[in-house]
Structure formats: structure tokens, C-alpha cells
Structure 1
Amino acid sequence: MANVGGIIPDRPGEVARSVRWLPAVLLVCGFLVDYFAPVQFSGAAFYSVAPMIAAALLSADGTILTGLCAIVADAVTLGHFGLLATGSGMSELMSITAVALGSVVINRLLLVRDARLRSAQSITATVQRAVLPAPPARVGALRIAARYEAAEQEADIGGDLYAVQTTPYGLRCIIGDVCGKGMDSVEAAIAVVGTFRMAADEEPTLAGVVARLDRALHLGAQRADRPWGRGEWFATALIAEFPPGTQEMRLINRGHAAPFLLHKAAVRAIEPTRRAVPLGLGLGDEPDLPDTVAMLPGCTVLLCTDGIHEARNRHGAFYDPQARLATVRFSTPNELLRKLIDDIDRHTAAPRSDDTALLAFTYDP
């Protein structure tokens, strides 16, 4: 588990490179205090702290080396002043030795924890790629970009979802946010994405895709074998398609945040003509009627979850995506998403409180 340079580079919350020298600085400070301060002052505190700091920052080799240096430095100064010969310095030396040995044990425990954390992160990253794969960069006249930002730093997937799929009926996509937290929301997100992928290929109309999604969530909520019990399964979602041979986008909004249409310096929210309930709650309603939006050359459609609408700064002011998007200059959909996330982070100046999924489509014939 040791690594070159003595630092574990991908430990969560990795410290700045300069901090790795802190144990050495403490050892030098302790040595200087012992040699140049009055005899009643001792550098033992520095020798004790240095291995403990090394256990959290350095590899096993670095921690062992720091502990040995602390023991040797203390022994040399005690011997120089004749405290070892009289036996009065043995208690101090034994204490520093015990701290150094304990630091090695702590370091090994931290390394085991880090290995388990990396394994868990690898698994969740694999799940994310399976559930939310990156869409193709371009399909026909459309350039595409996607972004998923988890609220938790170590989390890779939550209740927000998206999918983009090429079908016999054109490019179809979905973006949504399922109700709930934890594994219940993850299971619901997987059900929505899986159903969408099958329905998008099989259903000739967008309304048919939405009906299949409604049915899947409604039936999933009735399952008695779910490990976390029955409950309401529903999701806000926006389902869209770009029919081949046309310059338009059709979309059905089921209780989701309105997408934005960006063209030149203008930004407008695409509000649905008819308000509809979220997926999973609409069984028995009239069939959904898609809205149609003209796609002019150079225009971009941004689909997002409510994570950007609910982002607040320390004064409680919500982020205004429509106003902020009007100030963003970009040449590709990837650049748009990157600048938007950076702008949200500057607005909140704090860790995210909600997951955020983003999809952007630029019509570039």
C-alpha cells in the first residue's frame, strides 16, 4: 500500500501537497526546542505529534520513518544532556516510542478503510455508467452533452436520472427526478431508465412511451417483495424526441422543471401547454399531448432537474437559471454545462444540497 513520495494521492479530502512536509517540520521544531531553549523546555510534544500527523497524511513507510526519526531525535537530545545516563529521560523516550508504534497501527487501519472506500467507489461508478451512460457526442445534426452532479461528495448516483437513445422514431431522451432518498430512489431511477429504453424503441408515439413509464412506476409501487417495503413510486420527468427529417423537438412534461431554449442572447423557459402530474400518478388520465418547439440552427435546449432551481446562497437567495444563462457564452453544449455548474458553485459557495442532472442539445446542421 506504500506509494512513492509517501502520500496517498486519492484519499478523500486530499490535502495540499505542501502539507506532507508537516511531520518533518514538527520534528525539526522539536529538535530546535531541545537544543536552544532553556533546559526546562522539552520538544517531546513535537516528537509525539509528528507521527500522529504522519499516520493521517502519509503512507505506511512515511509513518514508520517519521516515528523512527522522532525516537532517534529524542534519544540524541536526551543523551546529549546526559538524561539517558541518569535514567530521568527514559519515561519521555518510552512515551514517544509508544506514540510512534500506535501511529503505525492507526495508519494501517486508515489504509484498510481507504481500500474499502475505493472499492465501494469503483462499484458505484460502475453502476452509474450502467444506469446513466454518457450519451454520444453527436447524433445527426444534434450535438449532445450530459452532466450528473451528486449532492454527496462520495456518492455517484441518486434519484436524478437521464437517458438518451437513438430509435427508429428519432432521437429520444428523458430527464427526471424520482421521489424519495436512498436505495428506494435508486431502484426507482433504474426502473424508469430501463422502461424508457425499451419503450423508446418500441412505441411509435411519445405518448406511448410516457404511458409505459406511468405503468411501470405504478406497478413497481405495488410490489410486496421490495426490501424496503411498499410505498409511492413517482417521478417528475421530461420526455423529448427529435423526429428525423424535421427541425423540431417534441416534448411531454410530467410535473418537471421547464427546459430552456437558448438562441443567440435570448433565453426562454419552455412551459407546457397543459400541466400534468408526475409519472406514476397519472394512470387513467387523458393521453399526453406533446408540445412542439422549433429548432433553429445554432439553438440549444437545456434540460435540467430541480437541483439548479433549489441551489441557494448563504443569504437564502435561490439561483435564477434563466437570468444566469443569458450571461453564459459557450461554443459547445459541454462548455455550457461546465460553465453552468461552475456558476452554481460560485453562487452557493457550499456543498450541494441536491443532486443535479443536466442534458444539453445543440442543433448544428
Structure 2
Amino acid sequence: MRHHRTYPIGPRSWPVFLPALAIVASVVLGLFTPHVNTFPLLAAAPLLAAPVLSLPGTVVTGVVAIVVGQAKALLVSGGSFFAYGVQLSSMVVLTVLASVLNRMMSRYRKELKDAREVAEAVQRAVLPTPPARIGPLDVAVRYQAAMREAAIGGDFYAIHSTPHGIRLMIADVRGKGVGAVKTVNGLLGSFHEAATRVPDLPGVVARLEERMRELNSEDTEGEESFATAVVIEIPADGCVLRLVNLGHCPPLLVHRGRARLLTPAEPALPLGLGDLGRERVPVEQHPLPPGATLVLYTDGVVEARDRRGVFYDPVPSLSRPLPTDPDAILDTLLADLARHTGGRLDDDAALMAVTHRQEAQGGPALSTGRQPSRTRPLAPAPRASRVAGPEGGLMGKARPEGIRPGFRPSRFRDSNPRPTHYECVALAI
């Protein structure tokens, strides 16, 4: 599994041809319209070269522009090399200024690169690499950094195997820089503790809300922050998932060539805003059949725009046959996102994908890499059912103590409490 902070590709390569284009345009206009003053095009050439070429390239562009200008003076003015004396002096001055500008921009680029490397190191320290496999799940994460700045963003993710199942979280803290890092660290620490100790999702969310309020009260600048988040719990069998969406982008469930958004039926307020009216935490449940992949992401993905200002929609790129491999699915999504935006992001984007590994019929999960196994075709997933809370079962009905959601009572007659592949299929149906 790869975990890295990547930077989208820089500006398109066509600007490097602008200086040469200006000189060529000056020559062509001089040949066909000899009485038209093409000095502005020649003067623009070294200035256009400064931000896109190296220092030698900028100097060479200026020299070529001077030579072309003097050649035109020779041809038009009948041999007088000093007819364009003022223009020659101007070209020399502009070339020197362009060289100085080039050096300043090179220094700025180096400082920006150093700042990005520091940001990357801090980001990796804050977001350690999760294991590639946790229980029945394969895990992959990505962090795509924005182009416009090197400040550390507030996007983060976490996943843990706990006595209550596998719990994961993705969130986006308002703001950037040191303040965002402080909030991210506080929420990550609270989630690590609550995920292990608190038995239900509403309790985990309550701990996170409490910690967010503490962080806001500690802010000496008096600027309250908040965080959108999705908190998810997947039982040890991996057949279902329970989630709480706190104003965050809805996750995507990818299975058998189809991607659908798990849009919450009852949205909840983000962390830090719970005192404005969150009376209870709505928990929803969805099936997670073998071979299905859950994709979590932050708003840097769906708020990315193309040249026409159209927002990116991740559903079409994942609504086709794809490998049951979370790394491959995230790579496909990011490649399509790069095509949509032209390689530029205006906001950081964190992504996490977890795949319920397919199992051999009547046996344990396959251990030969992440190659999909042949399984019985699954029926289309039903709509989400609301979970009443820790006292309710799949449909909010009371269940005997000790029985987790996703288990059928008949399963406990078996000596092996782990559900078989076909039992997971039955839950999906």
C-alpha cells in the first residue's frame, strides 16, 4: 500500500514556447508589413522567458531579440545600425531586468519546494501509514496536495482495529497551517482513544465533539473552528458498515462495476457545531459484500473544477469494472481527477479506500495478494436502514445482549462464529 503526499503537475508546458513565438511573430510581421513597428513583440520576448525558462534561456532569448531587432533595422533603414539605437538600449535593459526577475523567481521556487518538503514531513508525522490489511479489509490511502500553497492542510484519516470492530474516520478541519495541525492532532488522539474504549458510534462522536469544543476554548485568537467528518464502524465479519456523517462528503460504495453515494438520510452538523442543535447522532447501516470497496474522500476532490468551472463528479469514473484492489481504485480516481482539472488542485484532498476481501467458497479469505476470487453473484444492495443505537439491531429492534449487528441467531449454533461467504451474501440480499 502506498501512502504519500503528492503534488499535482505544474503549469502546462506550452508557456515555454511563448518567447520564441513572440520573436517569430515579429519576424513574420516585419517581412509582410515592413513599416509596422514590431519592437513591442521583441521587447516582450525576454520578459516572457523569465518565468518559464532558466537564466541562460532568458539571456539567450534577450540576445536573439536584440539581433533580430538590429537585422530588421539594417534591412529597413538601408545599412544604419544606429537607426534603432534607442530600441537597442531598451532591449538590453529589458534583458537585464528579465534576468534579475528570473533569479528572483528561481529563489522563490526553491523556497516553495523546501516549504513543501517540510509540509510533507509534518503531514506524514501527523498521518502515519496504516497497515495494508486490517481484519477482512484491504486498506489504501492517498494525500493529494494543492498547487496554490504549501501550508499544511486540515484533511486527515485514521483506521483502527478495536474490540468493537474496525473503526475508521476521515475529516476536514477548517483552515490550514499550525492551527489546523493542532486541531488534527487533537481529534486524532481523541479518536484513537474513543475508538478503543467507547462501545458505540454515538459515543465516539460525542467524545470527538467534546474534544473539538476543548480545542476551540484553548484558541487564544478566539477564532472557533469546526470539522466535517465521517465516522464508520465495520464489524469483525466485514459484512456491514455503520456510519455517521457529520456534514462531510458522502462516501462511495463501489461494487461490481457500480458506484453509489451513501448520502445520509438525516444530515448532522459538523464537529464543533453540535451545540447548535444536534440532539442525537443518526447512525445508518449499509451492506458491505465481499469484493465491495468503500471510498472516503474530502471536499478537495468534489470541489475541484475544470476550465469551465464544472465541479468534479467521482461517480462516473468508478462506475465501470475495476479490480477489487483499493490502490487501483484510488489510482483510477486520481487519474480521472487530474484529467478533469488539468493537473491542478485548489485544495488538499485526502482519500481512503477499504475493500472487503473476497473469500473462497466455504473457506477463509484468500491470501494470494489482492487478486479477486470467484464468488456467487450478489443481488443489488438494498437501501440503508437506520440503526436506533446501541440497543437496536439491524432495523432498530431489540436484540439479545452480546449479539452484534450483522449476525443472525442461527449462526451461533455453529462452532465457528465467523460468517461464511454465503452468509455475507445473505446479509447483502
Shorter-chain TM range is 0.7 to 0.9
Checking the alignment, whether the CA contact within 8 Å between 1:150 and 1:156 is kept in structure 2 is no
| Structure 2: runs of 5+ lacking an equivalent | 1-6, 358-364, 366-429
Structure 2 CA distance for aligned equivalents of residues 348 and 32 of structure 1: 35
Q: TM-score, normalised by structure 1?
A: 0.72
Distance 1:11 1:106, change over 3 A: farther
Within the alignment, does 1:337 sit opposite 2:334 as a pair? no
Name the SS for the 1:100 alignment partner.
helix
2:294 paired residue among 282, 301, 316: 301
Which amino acid counterpart does residue 291 of structure 2 have in structure 1? G
Within the alignment, does 1:16 sit opposite 2:13 as a pair? yes
| Structure 1: runs of 5+ lacking an equivalent | 1-9
Distance 1:102 1:135, change over 3 A: same
Single out whichever of 324-333 and 70-79 deviates more from structure 2. 70-79
Deviation sequence 1:96-141 (CA, Å, 0-9, x none): 2112112111111221222222222223333332334454333343
- How do residues 71-220 of structure 1 correspond to structure 2 at under 5 angstroms? 71-75=66-70, 81-84=78-81, 87-149=82-144, 153-154=148-149, 157-167=152-162, 170-178=165-173, 180-183=174-177, 184-185=179-180, 187-201=182-196, 203=198, 206-220=201-215
Distance 1:266 1:66, change over 3 A: closer
Structure 1 CA distance for aligned equivalents of residues 98 and 8 of structure 2: 18
Structure 2 CA distance for aligned equivalents of residues 258 and 49 of structure 1: 49
* C-alpha displacement of 1:174: 0.4
Structure 1 CA distance for aligned equivalents of residues 243 and 182 of structure 2: 25
Q: TM-score, normalised by structure 2?
A: 0.63
Structure 2 CA distance for aligned equivalents of residues 239 and 354 of structure 1: 22
Within the alignment, does 1:327 sit opposite 2:323 as a pair? no
- How do residues 310-321 of structure 1 correspond to structure 2 at under 5 angstroms? none
Checking the alignment, whether the CA contact within 8 Å between 2:317 and 2:336 is kept in structure 1 is no
Distance 1:79 1:295, change over 3 A: closer
* C-alpha displacement of 1:203: 4.7
Name the SS for the 2:218 alignment partner.
coil
Checking the alignment, whether the CA contact within 8 Å between 1:328 and 1:336 is kept in structure 2 is no
- How do residues 20-99 of structure 1 correspond to structure 2 at under 5 angstroms? 20-24=16-20, 26-27=22-23, 40=35, 44-75=39-70, 81-84=78-81, 87-99=82-94
Checking the alignment, whether the CA contact within 8 Å between 2:238 and 2:356 is kept in structure 1 is no
Structure 1 CA distance for aligned equivalents of residues 232 and 54 of structure 2: 51
Deviation sequence 1:229-276 (CA, Å, 0-9, x none): 242x43332222334455443434445454343433565555668765
Distance 1:309 1:43, change over 3 A: closer
Distance 1:66 1:162, change over 3 A: same
Checking the alignment, whether the CA contact within 8 Å between 2:112 and 2:150 is kept in structure 1 is no
Which amino acid counterpart does residue 131 of structure 1 have in structure 2? V
Which amino acid counterpart does residue 330 of structure 1 have in structure 2? L
Tell me which protein shows more helix as a share of its residues.
1
Checking the alignment, whether the CA contact within 8 Å between 2:232 and 2:241 is kept in structure 1 is yes
Name the SS for the 2:208 alignment partner.
helix
Number of equivalent positions: 347
Equivalent residue number for residue 353 of structure 2: 360
Name the SS for the 1:222 alignment partner.
helix
Structure 2 CA distance for aligned equivalents of residues 109 and 157 of structure 1: 24
Structure 2 CA distance for aligned equivalents of residues 216 and 113 of structure 1: 39
Structure 1 CA distance for aligned equivalents of residues 71 and 308 of structure 2: 56
Single out whichever of 160-169 and 52-61 deviates more from structure 2. 160-169
Checking the alignment, whether the CA contact within 8 Å between 1:262 and 1:268 is kept in structure 2 is yes
* C-alpha displacement of 1:62: 1.3
- Percentage of pairs with the same residue: 36
Structure 1 CA distance for aligned equivalents of residues 109 and 19 of structure 2: 21
Structure 1 CA distance for aligned equivalents of residues 265 and 20 of structure 2: 67
Structure 1 CA distance for aligned equivalents of residues 181 and 118 of structure 2: 14
Which amino acid counterpart does residue 188 of structure 2 have in structure 1? V
Deviation sequence 1:194-237 (CA, Å, 0-9, x none): 32234435556545533331221111111253xx3242x43332
* C-alpha displacement of 1:148: 4.3
Within the alignment, does 1:241 sit opposite 2:236 as a pair? no
Name the SS for the 1:163 alignment partner.
strand
Which amino acid counterpart does residue 79 of structure 2 have in structure 1? G
Name the SS for the 1:188 alignment partner.
helix
Equivalent residue number for residue 3 of structure 1: none
Single out whichever of 300-309 and 216-225 deviates more from structure 2. 300-309
Distance 1:20 1:271, change over 3 A: closer
Structure 2 CA distance for aligned equivalents of residues 24 and 321 of structure 1: 40
Deviation sequence 1:75-94 (CA, Å, 0-9, x none): 5665684323xx54432322
Single out whichever of 332-341 and 121-130 deviates more from structure 2. 332-341
* C-alpha displacement of 1:55: 1.4
Deviation sequence 1:331-350 (CA, Å, 0-9, x none): 12233334445666777899
Structure 2 CA distance for aligned equivalents of residues 75 and 347 of structure 1: 46
Which amino acid counterpart does residue 119 of structure 2 have in structure 1? T
Structure 2 CA distance for aligned equivalents of residues 16 and 75 of structure 1: 30
Structure 2 CA distance for aligned equivalents of residues 70 and 349 of structure 1: 32
Distance 1:256 1:114, change over 3 A: closer
